[in-house]
Structure 1
């Protein structure tokens, strides 16, 4: 490999990883006046909020469950008891999820029990809880008293370290397949600085890990010597992976699907390719390892809420739509915010914003426009 090109790879990777690490080291939820422009929208806090390194309902929902698991030995993050209702607490809600700095709309209320749970899939929560348990028992860090220490350490472990491995895998594949130095460095630079991976790395989420495991799933398939066949007359076709490669591909494909539902399509696609080329190894290695994370997630889900159906599948039920819920809409009520865009926008407007508008795939990550054009040209 060209020495100068290696230097550029290293510089790009170091700047990306250092920038993310620096942001994690100073991450904190900020309140800005411009975020509260209209009556009926979010209100400016009446008192000084607790400084927190968590940024939104998404990550706080998981952190609530992590804290409940390790500190209290339960999946329950809050409780509703009408006997405790008061002027300032209409429904008698108590628990972690109602504390300052821990509040989230991403919670559900189990009917008949008065117990609140995180609405997030539980596998990632258990993995994070395992690290928090170690930090608590080895270093004495409690998430309530050492919040910054715990959160920032976990973010580094689950976002920065996998991102470094992601960039290494990408570099290996670029060296194997890309035809020119410009192509190799352009794609690598885009991966380092041109996507929302960097942005999401400063918060606990499933999307960054999903991106990392997706590449890890296809890496064993592509990092193989090419045979004499050419796909579409120009693309080298790699040899079938070894048994260990098929096993790793299955494991990471299953993890991708457990982190991101669209990852099921990736897992199915890889399975189709492998079962044609190596049917016995695929059925013996890929399939069981791909199913393992999915089965484990469902088992944990049952342990958590006593049901096999995932919590997020209950979005139209009373689990989500209970009195006082963010997701509860009274007859004739108009709500504001991105969750309620359908109340204000036509389907055409919604599609516009989905693609090139305020939450647009191409407006937020314009590199995909070049990628799309490149696929057509190629």
Structure 2
């Protein structure tokens, strides 16, 4: 068979694999939404995003108060802070860029088909998930096909990589729900594709640099750890071709940065994302040592001293007669909440004085889930960093235990590191560095953040790396192609990975099969 005939056959097999994968996902989207009764949303995570999309189009605001009046639309993934109107409102805690983009899609559906998320949530959600998630997967598959065709060395190896992408990763699992990880992974795939064209193929077209910068920044804007990809890839391209990187690559990244920070400020009136608002704001007044002691005694009795009222008056704020006062004795701190003024402040004892500070703890509100003593289950965090690393890599949420095809990616990466091709060695070093940096970053997060991503079917905070791991899989797949036993071993690893990815077929926001089994055994 000629090379051209071989290529045409490979493309036909790719198309068949992708069609089966996409068709299965569309079927699951339809079945998933039909099985959830009164709303088509599967978790607090995606419901938080849907609430913003609906509020933007139906109410013209980022505040989700009017949406979550219907408790079926409520979510624990929200923050509470003062808005542009001077009143406090609930907002999604998710970065708003993705919601703004999808609000445009919802607006088009609403104004062309007459369907609203409030009136027809099942229909609108199905349409948007197919357009958005299937569209992202197709873009990702197209980029991957281009790369395996350019760099693959065997028919079997190329087909194995595409089959792994179609069935063996959690990206297809999460394609039935609205989430940022698929968006980030698709962008990372395209950024890596463009970068390899520059780095390996020696191409120097400006649009490749612009596209690599734009896609890497977009990946980071949707999944913060991917900021490491933007940094390392940008540095690599800057070394390779400084002029084109600065002239074309940097502007591509800046466009995304402007959109990301701009939508954050538009939504919240702050350049900082919601998760950065977890402490008190700046001090606006101070009770000196000579009055602080008496004031502290009254505050501990849940009384607002006159000296405190006078300090607020100096700031042009008149407190109501009966503001609410919460005593936080564990850290010499008091929370003053005035529902009439609709503002909140923190009073903090610092040495011998008491500072009155603006409120900047957006996750601390009346019915918050995120306060200590309220969180439960996996959200409490894993006390042992060693245990956390174990379960992240080879345990109940393990990258290698749930999807063992990545063992072949490690083998492929080692093969590239030992190869004589310097450019591929450098590509493998980049992927290995990104992986190690992200794993170490999460292992050394504080206790409250060591939670495996909440109730989820895989360690989702590493999903954006999947496109890079797929390209590291390629040399190992080509090596297996020459050995019958290795092909069978690779097929078994892919089968196990596909089983893990298929286990939460109708809701990826569930624990993995291994976690459930360990629970059944009583080990968790």
Q: Counterpart of 2:205? A: 242
Q: Counterpart of 2:184? A: 210
For residues 376 and 29 of structure 1, what CA distance do their matches in structure 2 show?
A: 46
Deviations 1:172-213 (A, max 9, x none): 111111111121111111011000011100001110011111
For residues 245 and 10 of structure 1, what CA distance do their matches in structure 2 show?
A: 26
Alpha-carbon shift at residue 101 of structure 1 (Å): 2.2
Q: Counterpart of 1:87? A: none
In structure 1, runs of 5+ residues without a counterpart are: 32-49, 79-94, 227-236
Equivalent of 2:89, from 108, 115, 121?
A: 115
SS at match of 1:27: helix
Equivalent of 2:170, from 182, 193, 196?
A: 196
For residues 100 and 76 of structure 2, what CA distance do their matches in structure 1 show?
A: 20
Equivalent of 1:341, from 374, 381, 393?
A: 381
For residues 235 and 157 of structure 2, what CA distance do their matches in structure 1 show?
A: 29
Q: Is the 8 A contact 1:220 1:241 kept in 2?
A: no
Alpha-carbon shift at residue 358 of structure 1 (Å): 2.3
For residues 370 and 139 of structure 1, what CA distance do their matches in structure 2 show?
A: 47
For residues 113 and 363 of structure 1, what CA distance do their matches in structure 2 show?
A: 49
Change (3 A) 1:360 1:287: same
Alpha-carbon shift at residue 140 of structure 1 (Å): 0.5
Alpha-carbon shift at residue 98 of structure 1 (Å): 4.2
For residues 51 and 356 of structure 1, what CA distance do their matches in structure 2 show?
A: 37
Note the aligned Cα RMSD (angstroms): 2.0
Q: Counterpart of 2:339? A: none
Q: Counterpart of 2:477? A: none
SS at match of 2:72: coil
| Equivalence map 1:321-340=2 (5 Å) | 321-329=364-372, 333=373, 335-340=375-380
For residues 204 and 315 of structure 1, what CA distance do their matches in structure 2 show?
A: 26
In structure 2, runs of 5+ residues without a counterpart are: 280-359, 417-524
Q: Is the 8 A contact 2:238 2:246 kept in 1?
A: yes
Q: Does 1:26 align with 2:31?
A: yes
| Equivalence map 1:213-228=2 (5 Å) | 213-223=187-197
Q: Is the 8 A contact 1:29 1:55 kept in 2?
A: no
| Equivalence map 1:274-289=2 (5 Å) | 274-289=237-252
Q: Does 1:61 align with 2:48?
A: yes
Q: Counterpart of 2:255? A: 292
Q: Does 1:371 align with 2:409?
A: yes
CA radius of gyration, larger in? 2
Q: Counterpart of 1:101? A: 72
Greater displacement, 199-208 / 238-247: 238-247
Alpha-carbon shift at residue 335 of structure 1 (Å): 4.1
SS at match of 1:286: helix
Q: Counterpart of 2:361? A: 318
For this pair of structures, how many residues does the alignment match? 328
For residues 199 and 128 of structure 1, what CA distance do their matches in structure 2 show?
A: 20
Q: Counterpart of 2:388? A: 350
Work out which structure has the larger RCO, using CA pairs closer than 8 Å and 6 or more positions apart in sequence: 2
- TM-score of the pair, normalised by structure 2: 0.60
Alpha-carbon shift at residue 138 of structure 1 (Å): 1.1
Q: Is the 8 A contact 2:51 2:64 kept in 1?
A: yes
Greater displacement, 144-153 / 194-203: 144-153
For residues 197 and 219 of structure 2, what CA distance do their matches in structure 1 show?
A: 19
For residues 377 and 277 of structure 1, what CA distance do their matches in structure 2 show?
A: 23
Deviations 1:26-70 (A, max 9, x none): 223867xxxxxxxxxxxxxxxxxx522111011100111111100
Q: Is the 8 A contact 1:172 1:223 kept in 2?
A: no
For residues 364 and 395 of structure 2, what CA distance do their matches in structure 1 show?
A: 29
- TM-score of the pair, normalised by structure 1: 0.82
SS at match of 2:275: helix
Change (3 A) 1:270 1:347: closer
Equivalent of 1:73, from 50, 60, 72?
A: 60
For residues 141 and 101 of structure 1, what CA distance do their matches in structure 2 show?
A: 19
Q: Counterpart of 1:139? A: 113
For residues 378 and 278 of structure 2, what CA distance do their matches in structure 1 show?
A: 16
Deviations 1:307-363 (A, max 9, x none): 11111222466211223200012xxx3742221133xx4333222222222222222
Q: Is the 8 A contact 2:216 2:229 kept in 1?
A: yes
For residues 277 and 156 of structure 2, what CA distance do their matches in structure 1 show?
A: 48
| Equivalence map 1:46-57=2 (5 Å) | 50-57=37-44
- Greater share of residues in helix: 2
SS at match of 1:238: coil
Q: Counterpart of 1:309? A: 272
| Equivalence map 1:5-20=2 (5 Å) | 5-20=10-25
Q: Does 1:254 align with 2:221?
A: no
